[in-house]
Amino acid sequence: MLTGCCLNILAHMIQDNMKRQLILLLFLVSMAAAAVLPGLAVHMPHKPEASAADLTPVLTSTSQIIDAVIALPDGRLVLEAPSWVGNPSPQLSVGKPGASSPPTPYPDAEWNDNNGDISHHFVSITGITLTKDGKLWVADSGVPDREKPPTAPARLICIDTATSQVTRIIPVPPAELHPGSILGGIAVHDQTAYVTDSGVAGLLAVDLQTGETRRALDRVSALTAGRPINAAAGIVRAPNGHPLAIDASLIAVSPDGKWLYVQPYCGPLFHVATSLFSDPGTTNAALQESATRWYKTNALGGLTVGPDGTLYWADVTTGSIDSYTEGRIPHHLITDTRLHWPGGLSLSGQTLYIPASQLDQAARFHNGHSAVRWPVTIYRLKVPEDATSNVLHK
């Protein structure tokens, strides 16, 4: 028979074992919660994985604020210089990294001529994206001045990069827009284009075969700017002096087409299941509830996604480039003072191309006087090997 002392010892051993099991259970639950709950996402590391030497200039402009770049498979770079910040033509151009000759209008000079037939020239480009089949899709808002009404209908324009020819123009139905609507970024998967409304928060899903368009997430908080844009130089102010706040602008789609990543300029980043758009039975309420905060980002100037599902974003508040794996592990790639308002970045293989656009230094934000320090530079950054790892390296 066990003595009273032995029984006490045994009881303590059982209690200690139960405590250990409970602690282990709580730890596993907390780790699982961190993997699915946006509020418990892992914080961005402070130490960058790349150094200043890894960031090298490849192309410059002495006259345009280039706010987005697309790397073509043949090595050329398509550059976006939006008219709404006061850029001269061309709005789209193409150049070769390191080339001595300047970029040329893309797809040609006529499309970048501000005069003539509206069906053959850009009015106000707000977003570009490249699909796997080599098609460059362009969002044209028709709003060259955000403080004024549109001067042309909103539309999507497709350029075949193999031939440099415009092959399709898809009008955006006016019924899917509101007074004050301004197309923002664009993402394409298969035969669906997803376009943000940066003027009146919302998201458009456009069937690229039929042109049928569905508006969703209308004025939801996830797509609405809840604070002004905070750049490295401070709060950006509109021409009227008020702090600038722009609704849903940045968008990317996962490689399998199942998820959209979207945010207003100011952040944070949300994700939405695309299946809800293709299901005719999905209610507006279900769509609104589907937007989940994915990461507490700062103001961003660009967002792209790699073939493995890793997100890359350009942080204009800190002048940084960061990545976020499908396993929800953040990687701080680089912070550099040269990255003044890093814009729409593009991934080619293991190389990121990043425009340091200085967009907040445009004349419209400084009482009509440009504060840009020319030239505006496109940089190249080789992605560190660990940047797609689901293991956090401190």
Segment 75-87 mean pLDDT:
97
- Domain 45-388 in this protein, CATH class: mainly beta
pLDDT tens per residue, range 352-364: 999 999 999 999 9
Residue with tokens 């697309």: 70
Give the pLDDT band (50/70/90) at residue 41: low
- β-pairing verdict for 234-235 and 230-231: antiparallel
Collect all residues with Cβ–Cβ distance below 8 Å to 287 and sequence separation of at least 6.
216, 217, 272, 276, 277
Based on DSSP, count helices (H) and strands (E) in the chain, helices before strands: 3, 26
Phi and psi at 200, nearest 5°, equal: -130, 105
The stretch 194-200 carries a mean pLDDT of 98
Confidence band of 1 (pLDDT split at 50, 70, 90) = very low
pLDDT by residue (tens digit) across 300-331? Answer: 999 999 999 999 999 999 999 999 999 999 99
Domain boundaries, the chain: 1-36, 45-388
pLDDT score of 286: 79
pTM: 0.88
50-59, 241-250, 280-289, 357-366, range with the lowest pLDDT: 280-289
Q: How far apart are CA 259 and CA 274, in angstroms?
A: 6
